[in-house]
Amino acid sequence: MQYVYYSVAFLVAVVALLLVVNRPQYVQIDAPIPAAFQGTTFPHDSFEQLLHQWVSDDGKIDYEGWHASSASVATLNGYLAAVSSISPISAPERFAMRSDELAYWLYAYNAYVIKSVLDHWPVASVTDVKAPIEAVKGLGFFYRQRYEFGGKYMSLLYVENTIIRKGYQDARIHFVLSCASESCPIVRPDLPTGAALESFLATAATEFASDPGNITVDHQAREVILSRIFKWYRGDFENAVRLAGKAGKEGLIAYAQSIAPEPLASELADASDYEVVFNEYDWALNSAQ
């Protein structure tokens, strides 16, 4: 009994130390809110224009060029000043549709990821942005840093898991949220809102599935090789299959088949009893250089 007591006390002390040493790092946006946000909606035009300028056709970002452009950095900070002040929680009247809300969270998340990379430039990976005690890879980037959304500071981890995943329950968001890494979904310059978001998510899912680095069928080994994203968020993808009501179908292979184009979808249908294995995740920066 005494051993258990000391073990628990030790674990509590370790957790307390981690919380103290890795206390949140609040990132403030020192920029005025642009005039475009004086209306009754939340336009993403300024961020969209930046993405068209700095994102290549294959979804890579020219961080070096963006970082060197004071005008582009200022424009991003202006957009994020609006994000900091306005959100679907603080100003729900600005978001007419649920899809407008989701679009805000997706684009704001990606914008803060880009800002963090620019703030720490040059970096080779987001994992280079470390907490004092890096107990888990990515802790410094995705958890310790806190960003403001509509007057409330949140970590990127909280926004992804609590706001977006739990709040909207659409597995396709995993093909749009970009963590600035090679194995992440690509960054998409066009930022639709409202009803147009549906086709945006569908296209993102299909294009993610089309990349052999994300889904591959090895008939000789009887394996389906998937991106590690499918492992990390397995419950989201399997739940999507259940909600779709596809009788007799379940699991990751069934979900992969549902978003894959032909002939990959037919290959996956024939591989329903194959073993699922996962690729290693490449945390190298998704940089155009």
> Residue 7: inside a domain, yes or no?
no
Q: In the listed set 153, 188, 223, which residue is the last one of a domain according to the structure? A: 188
What is the tens place of the pLDDT at every residue in 58-74?
999 999 999 999 999 99
- Together in a domain, 131 and 47: yes
pLDDT at 289: 77
The Cα 3–Cα 146 span in angstroms is: 38
Report the candidate in 149, 1, 161 with the shortest Cα–Cα distance to residue 83: 149
pLDDT at 137: 85
Task: Extract the tokens encoding 159.
Answer: 């926004």
Let me know how many helices (H) and strands (E) the chain has, helices first: 13, 6
- Together in a domain, 152 and 246: no
- Together in a domain, 214 and 143: no
SS (H, E, C) 21-73: HCCCEECCCCCCCCHHHHCCCCCCHHHHHHHHHHECCCCCECHHHHHHCHHHH
Return the H-helix or E-strand segment holding 226. Answer: strand 223-226
Its domain, for residue 125, covers 23-188
Task: Extract the tokens encoding 138.
Answer: 């990515």
> Residue 245: inside a domain, yes or no?
yes
- Together in a domain, 74 and 136: yes
Question: Is 0.75 topped by the overall pTM?
Answer: yes
Q: In the listed set 134, 156, 188, which residue is the last one of a domain according to the structure? A: 188
Please count the structural domains in the chain.
2
pLDDT at 135: 81
CB atoms within 10 A of CB 214: 21
Q: Which residue stretches of the chain have pLDDT < 70?
A: 1-20, 246-250
pLDDT at 13: 41
